């Protein structure tokens, strides 16, 4: 009996394969659309996953509390002296100044983000070295004047290939020379792509910010559990200052991400719906030939369950192939073509298109989710109509 | 008796607006090894009667016992199981699947039985040989001649060695020669012990000497002249 059953299963599988082959144009078109949907879903999933990994990296380098001075709702420079007023607050480990801003390069029509940091002052400053492909982070003013670290696309945009020096304009249009002492690794492109990092003194010089002022103060806290309490105390001590905690910045990222991936999800849902409709149409529109075939098989002694088994094997084969093709294509798309199709949607970060190298991670859970969203509707759309027609009486194959 | 019908009636779409009474009060018995012809005008109920004898559906009322099984008591699934052990069908137009090969068409009834591919091939080849069409085994069934097609249809009705052969208007699309050939094959099968019921209004069929009895159906009833 068990042997019989095995033979029967094999026969049915064999019949399903040959039936797919007989309708190869139809099978192929369904397969292609199916693979395309899986490709979109999987690419999208891989990209958002890789990007949220990046966002985590960003946050890892974000100070626990950032202080900015607000005036009439706009950010303006904050006096270094404010840092000294915080000395009384217990739990603050260190206050480090920072100057950052955007520099518009009129020659190349590109925006750069300029960041002036006191790397040696930052408690975790040493870790920044890990983000570099080569070189070192610029040290303090007296030993590293004019030294900068740049992101990959800055190197490309400025066409720096062999050179290690370039100049930028100060607000009074005099030129300030820089020398590249290092470059960020492509892994960190999403953050560092359009970034030029120098020390605070050079940034102040470049932007013409008066001595004693910076754009923001980074507050490092001894115990992460006290962040909220300390932030509140700072607000009380310095009422005109905006106090941003790391978790608030995290929320901002989530909003940006949420919007972007929400938009993507809507596009994907539309594609998915189109696919389900197509599958339904293909399957429920059983042609007279297919109906006739089912009626003949029934008269010849096939049970409804046998006919369903053939149909579901067909569907499983088609969806299995579509998954393999779609997922492989998605991986190639993301890794080798840098998710070219999703660029415009997901990358709003900088004017320079980041040459972003994503390392996709596709968890088993994601794969299951994608399968659930594609294979189940497809199986339902193919097997249910076949079941309805298989329960039609077989006598239509007789006479007439 | 291999086939025993008493007071059999069949109503299609019972209780609905499109209700059709196709058979009423049919009494019919067919002995093992005999050949019976059901004759009658179009729409008289021949195909419906064959469908009941062929265990495709049970009668709406009355008693139908086919090869010692009473149909009314069997749910659909058991009708199917009983049908494939008992009945070989030959359809009008022969109802082959044109994209499958001749061999695959003949072996179709064996697939759900769990017969090995080797055994399926062996049995199909035996029949192809017997009907002189072995050379067509690997042809797509849609590409063979009418005469070959008819033999394929007969071979398929015999593949599981079923005791009863039912044929619905088998000569409707055949010329005189092929119709004669068909009846000759039926005669051989009868001689080999098969029980055969043919629905036809073709004189070449009901006047054939091998036919033991002709039953005339008129408006769903057996007509006694
Ligand atoms: N599936 C069905 N649903 C409803 N009515 C049906 C169905 N099949 C047959 N009928 C009706 O039942 C009656 C008998 O039909 P049947 O096909 O048995 O006649 P027949 O003698 O085989 O005719 P023909 O010589 O044209 O094949 C006809 O009125 C037909 O319209
Ligand atoms: Mg008929």
What does A281-297 look like in DSSP terms, one character per residue? HHHHS--HHHHHHHHHH
Domain boundaries, chain A: 9-57+253-399, 92-221
Residue B123 at interface with chain A, using a CB cutoff of 8 Å: no
**Does A8 sit within 8 Å of B113, measured CB to CB?**
yes
Ligand 1 centroid to Cα of residue B214, in Å, is 20
Side-chain-side CA neighbours of A328 within 13 Å: the count stands at 6
What confidence category does residue A371 fall into, taking pLDDT thresholds of 50, 70 and 90?
confident
Question: Do B108 and A398 make contact, defined as CB atoms within 8 angstroms?
Answer: no
Please give the Cα distance from A318 to A316 (Å, whole number): 5
**B109 interaction partners in chain A (CB closer than 8 Å):** 300-301
The 10s digit of each residue's pLDDT in A31-70 is 888 888 888 888 877 777 776 776 676 677 778 888 988 8
pLDDT of residue B192: 93
A258-304 residue pLDDT tens: 666 666 676 677 667 766 766 666 655 567 777 788 888 888 988 88
Nearest to A397 among B76, B84, B95 (CB): B95
Number of DSSP helices (H) and strands (E) in chain A, helices first: 13, 13
**Would you place residue B26 in the very low, low, confident or very high pLDDT band (cuts 50, 70, 90)?**
very high
Across chain A, what does the average pLDDT equal? Answer: 79
Confidence of residue A352 (pLDDT cuts 50, 70, 90): very low
Q: Does residue B63 have a pLDDT over 90?
A: yes
Pocket test for ligand 1, best of B10, B21, B45 (most atoms within 8 A of CB): B45
**Residue-level pLDDT at A264:** 66
pLDDT of residue A354: 45
Q: Do the Cβ atoms of B77 and B90 come closer than 8 Å?
A: no
So what's the pLDDT on residue A240? 86
Average pLDDT, integer, range A6-29: 86
Render pLDDT for B155-203 as a digit per residue (tens, 0 to 9). Answer: 999 999 999 999 999 988 888 998 999 999 999 999 999 999 999 989 9
How far apart are the CA of B182 and the centre of ligand 2, in A?
A: 18
Tell me whether residues B47 and A302 touch, CB distance under 8 A.
Answer: no
pLDDT of residue B73: 76
Mutate to test the pocket of ligand 1, among B21, B48, B201 (most ligand atoms within 8 A of CB): B48
Residue of A392, A399, A382, A386 whose CA lies nearest to A298: A392
In degrees and rounded to multiples of 5, residue B119 shows phi and psi of -65, -40
Cα of B47 vs centre of ligand 2, distance in Å, is 4
Domain count of chain B? 1
- Say yes or no: B172 contacts chain A, CB-CB below 8 A: no
> What tokens does B132 get?
């002189």
Burial A192-223 (b: 16+ CB within 10 A, else e): bbbbbbbbbbbbbbbbebeeebbbbbbbbbee
Q: Which atom of ligand 1 is nearest to the CA of B48?
A: 18
Type and span of the H or E element at B66: strand B61-66
pLDDT of residue A126: 73
Residue B86: the pLDDT is: 94
Confidence at A313, pLDDT banded by 50, 70, 90:
confident
Domain region containing B64: 3-223
Of A344, A363, A362, nearest to A353 by C-alpha is A344
Residue bearing the bigger pLDDT, A125 or B97: B97
**For residue A237, is pLDDT > 80?**
yes
In this prediction the ipTM stands at: 0.90
SS3 (DSSP) at A87: coil
For residue A211 the two structure tokens come to 């001595």
| Residue predicted with more confidence, A351 or A164 | A164
Q: Any residues with CB less than 8 A from the CB of A270 and at least 6 apart, and which? A: none
Across chain B, mean pLDDT equals 91
Which is more confident, B87 or A389?
B87
A399 alpha carbon, closest ligand:
2
Atom 3 of ligand 1: nearest residue by CA position: B12
Measured distance CA(A47)–CA(A333) in Å, rounded: 10
pLDDT band at A208 (very low <50, low <70, confident <90, very high): very high
Across A119-128, B38-47, B168-177, the highest mean pLDDT is recorded for: B38-47
């Amino acid at each position: 009996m068990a042997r019989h059953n095995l033979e029967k299963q094999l026969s049915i599988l064999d019949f399903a394969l040959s039936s797919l082959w007989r309708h190869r144009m139809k099978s192929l078109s369904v397969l292609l659309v199916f693979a395309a949907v899986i490709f979109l879903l999987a690419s999208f999933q891989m990209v958002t996953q890789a990007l949220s990994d990046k966002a985590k990296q960003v946050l890892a380098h974000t100070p626990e509390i950032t202080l900015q001075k607000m005036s009439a709702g706009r950010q303006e420079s904050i006096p270094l002296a404010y840092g000294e007023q915080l000395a009384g607050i217990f739990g603050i480990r260190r206050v480090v100044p920072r100057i950052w801003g955007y520099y518009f390069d009129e020659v190349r029509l590109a925006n750069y983000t300029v960041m002036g940091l006191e790397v040696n002052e930052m408690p975790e400053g040493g870790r920044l070295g890990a983000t570099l492909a080569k070189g070192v982070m610029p040290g303090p003013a007296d030993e590293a004047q004019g030294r900068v670290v740049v992101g990959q696309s800055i190197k490309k945009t400025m066409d720096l290939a062999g050179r290690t020096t370039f100049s930028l304009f100060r607000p009074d249009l005099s030129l300030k020379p820089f020398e590249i002492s290092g470059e960020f690794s492509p892994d960190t492109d999403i953050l560092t792509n359009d970034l030029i990092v120098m020390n605070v003194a050079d940034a102040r010089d470049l932007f013409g910010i008066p001595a004693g002022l910076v754009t923001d103060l980074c507050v490092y806290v001894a115990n992460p559990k006290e962040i909220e309490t300390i932030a509140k105390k700072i607000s009380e001590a310095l009422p005109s200052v905006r106090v941003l905690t790391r978790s608030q910045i995290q929320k901002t990222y989530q909003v940006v991400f949420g919007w972007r991936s929400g938009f993507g999800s809507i596009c994907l849902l539309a594609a998915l719906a189109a696919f389900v409709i197509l599958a339904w149409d293909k399957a429920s529109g059983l042609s007279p030939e297919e109906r006739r075939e089912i009626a003949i098989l029934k008269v010849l002694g096939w049970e409804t369950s046998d006919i369903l088994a053939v149909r579901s094997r067909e569907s499983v084969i088609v969806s299995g192939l579509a998954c393999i093709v779609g997922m492989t294509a998605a991986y190639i798309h993301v890794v080798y073509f840098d998710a070219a199709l999703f660029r415009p949607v997901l990358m709003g970060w900088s004017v320079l298109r980041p040459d972003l190298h994503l390392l996709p991670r596709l968890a088993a859970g994601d794969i299951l989710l994608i399968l659930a969203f594609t294979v189940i509707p497809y199986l339902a759309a193919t097997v249910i109509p076949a079941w309805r027609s298989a329960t039609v009486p077989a006598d239509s194959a007789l006479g007439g | 008796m291999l086939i025993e019908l008493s007071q059999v009636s069949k109503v299609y779409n019972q209780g609905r607006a499109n209700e059709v009474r196709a058979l009423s009060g049919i009494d019919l018995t067919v002995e093992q090894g005999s050949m019976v012809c059901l004759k009658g005008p179009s729409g008289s109920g021949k195909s419906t009667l064959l469908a009941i004898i062929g265990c495709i559906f049970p009668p709406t009322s009355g008693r139908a016992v086919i090869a010692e099984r009473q149909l009314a008591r069997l749910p659909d699934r058991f009708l199917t199981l009983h049908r494939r052990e008992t009945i070989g069908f030959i359809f009008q137009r022969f109802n082959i699947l044109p994209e499958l090969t001749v061999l695959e068409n003949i072996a179709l009834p064996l697939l759900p039985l769990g017969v090995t591919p080797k055994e399926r091939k062996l049995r199909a080849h035996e029949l192809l040989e017997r009907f002189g069409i072995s050379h067509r085994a690997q042809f797509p069934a849609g590409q063979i001649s009418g005469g070959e097609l008819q033999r394929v249809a007969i071979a398929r009705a015999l593949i599981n060695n079923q005791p009863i052969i039912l044929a619905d208007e088998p000569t409707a699309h055949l010329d005189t020669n092929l119709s004669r050939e068909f009846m000759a094959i039926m005669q051989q099968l009868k001689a080999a012990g098969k029980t055969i019921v043919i629905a036809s209004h073709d004189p070449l069929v009901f006047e054939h000497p091998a036919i033991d009895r002709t039953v005339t159906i008129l408006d769903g009833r057996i007509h006694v002249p």
